[in-house]
Amino acid sequence: MTKTHSTAATAPPAIHFDSEFAAKLASLFQDLIVFNQTLGLKITEVTHDGAKAWLPMRPELIGHPTHQRLHGGVISATLDALGGLAVMAAVGARHADEPADARLARFGKLGTIDLRIDYLRPAIGPSFTAEARVIRLGSRVGTTRMEFYDAQGRLLSTGAGAYICWRRPKTEPLLRVVPTQN
């Protein structure tokens, strides 16, 4: 059953970006981050608190000489990148009052603090999909959960990540005067 599947299963899913900002952000991740291109990552969805991607299998990504398995590092890199994209999407959604480019500029502040990946099943097949969702966005730290699936939708890996970000607190005034102790 799982050996035969139409080529439709390997075609990239339809694309959905919920705003101009989301589309620009997807392009930034997919086209300007060189290693994401090395992986062949295609961003297929960006919403106010999550992101999805599609990854076709290629020989460069193989991790086991006898099996044709995807390298675990491709999975960790994909889930790390997608978690970061989800956090940026959520930061952008919280600053809908800013122009898209100002929100994109916040990407300079984004960084992964740490990452956990659980490998559940061997990653074999013509293509894969991945998802990330922000489960909490604070003013300084965003936390995500991620999943990695094969072309039949079987869960292959899960992830959790913490990201440093910079979000203006809701209560922040237009001008702050901050005395510092000394």
CB-side neighbour CA atoms (13 Å) of 7: 0
Q: How far apart are CA 161 and CA 172, in angstroms?
A: 27
Q: Exactly one of 28, 48, 56, 124 binds a copy of itself (CB under 8 A); which one?
A: 28
Whether 75 and 156 have beta carbons less than 8 Å apart is answered as yes
- Of the CA atoms within 13 Å of residue 52, those in its CB half-sphere come to 14
The length of the chain in residues reads: 182
Chain-centroid distance, C-alpha 142: 13
Contacting a copy of itself (CB under 8 A), which of 9, 15, 124, 162?
162
Judged by CB under 8 A, the stretch of 2-10, 14-22, 43-51, 158-166 that binds a copy of itself is 158-166
Task: Compose the 6-25 pattern: x for residues touching a copy of itself by CB under 8 A, - for all others.
Answer: --------------------
If one asks whether residue 102 binds a copy of itself (CB under 8 A), the answer comes out as yes
Residues at the contact surface with a copy of itself, assessed by CB under 8 A: 28, 32-36, 38-39, 59-66, 71-74, 76-78, 80-81, 97-98, 102, 108, 111-122, 135-136, 140-141, 143, 145, 155, 158, 160, 162, 164, 168, 172-182
